[in-house]
Amino acid sequence: MGRSETMADGYHTTDQTTGIDPAVAHVFVTEELDTRPVKPADHLREKQAIQDLAMRMADQPEQVLPRFVDLAMELTGGVSAGLSLYEPEPAPGVFRWRYLRGSLAPFEQAITPRNFSPCGVTLDRNGPTLSRHPERVYDWIVEAGITVPEVMLVPLSFGGCLPIGTLWIVSEKEGWFDAGHARSMTELAAFLGIALRMLDSERQLQAALEEQETLTKEMSHRVKNLFAITDGMIRGTARTAADKTEMAQALSGRLHALANAHTLVSRKLHEVGRAPRAGDIGTLIQAVVAPHEHADLSQPSRFSLEGPHVACGDHAINGVALVFHEMTTNAIKYGALSNEHGRVDVRWTLEGDLLNLSWREHDGPAVTGAPASKGFGSALVRNTVAGQFGGSVDYDWAQSGLSVAMRLPLAKVAL
């Protein structure tokens, strides 16, 4: 039934009065709705229909749409009815037939063109539409072997504005539908739009509650991790610091590195409203080293960062931040950043399932070799790279400047 392509080409001209392409206008007889005798209306049954939909919306929301079609066919006396739900992508979109009842039920899930169908005309008119033998102009109806003496269509909208498709009802004879049918179906369709809006709001609320619960658990886990990291830093710094001033300075720097990392995570939480999944490692490194740039912004940057976009997961952010903070601190105290001219090149590349990170210092004091003893900062770098990431780190104490090469499994960086 139907076909995926639209028939928009060659059907761009519309009658300014009716809004319908003149090539197909003769099968649309909507004006007859107002001239035909109106059949007696069963207002009680119409109210019961709305009550029926309201009850199903509360108890069986998945049954609202099919029940809506049943009630439409019952109230109008049609021989078939269904919904043509609009799927806008790819443009200009198609209609998919759903919840079919009666003689056309075998065509469930059929697809018809948006710009070459009675449903498209109905959405363009945004009002009840009546068509007589539309198969005379729509060849896809003929190809399906369908004869449609008369079909009444009513637009469906979501929240009163966004069109979602049409309700259509087929009569077995011409001259059946009247203005009373159009009125009752329009009212029922309006109630359906409200019902769908309420159901969507309920789904969004439930999704928001689930996301909030996930976020709460994530933040609880994150806070526990931060306390554990902080406790370890306090103990390690206390063992290696010469006095309380040195301890305070070292500990403050490390806590600021954690704070910068946490700020990146918090911003992602704010932006998407859920627990973050991944950031960019380049953005993270930039946030850690930025406080150590020249105060005079007219001077060349002390850091050169270069590498591809690499996902850095929220669980890996703290570790990466601490590693680069320790290397930056070491460069400020002993290396290239201890004078006004030194600089650092940071590069990262991908090699299979590994992330290669390179830290290379230039134009600093001459390096006389590896330090005689390793402090807490050095141990922190090694333990983080090996323990948290399962990676490796190598130091090259060249006279021209320290070079550090790290290899981290991408899978661990993305966590």
Q: Which residue has the tokens 């969507």?
A: 200
Domains recognised in the chain with CATH numbers: 25-204 (3.30.450.40), 241-413 (3.30.565.10)
For residues 325 and 250, give the distance between their C-alpha atoms in angstroms, rounded to a whole number. 11
Helix (H) or strand (E) holding 170: strand 162-171
Beta-strand runs (E) in 194-301: 279-280
Query: What global pTM score does this model have?
Result: 0.50
Written as six digits, the tokens of 74 are 């019952």
Q: Which of 201, 227, 30, 222 is nearest to 132 (CA)?
A: 30
Q: Which helix (H) or strand (E) holds 163?
A: strand 162-171
Instruction: Identify the three-state secondary structure at position 312.
Output: strand
Edge-first strand order for the sheet with 354-362 is 303-306, 343-351, 354-362, 401-409, 392-398
Which residues, given as ranges, of the chain have pLDDT below 70?
A: 1-19, 159-161, 198-200, 205, 208-241, 250-279, 294-297, 373-377
Q: From CA 156, how far away is CA 129, in angstroms rounded?
A: 12
d(CA 355, CA 347): 10
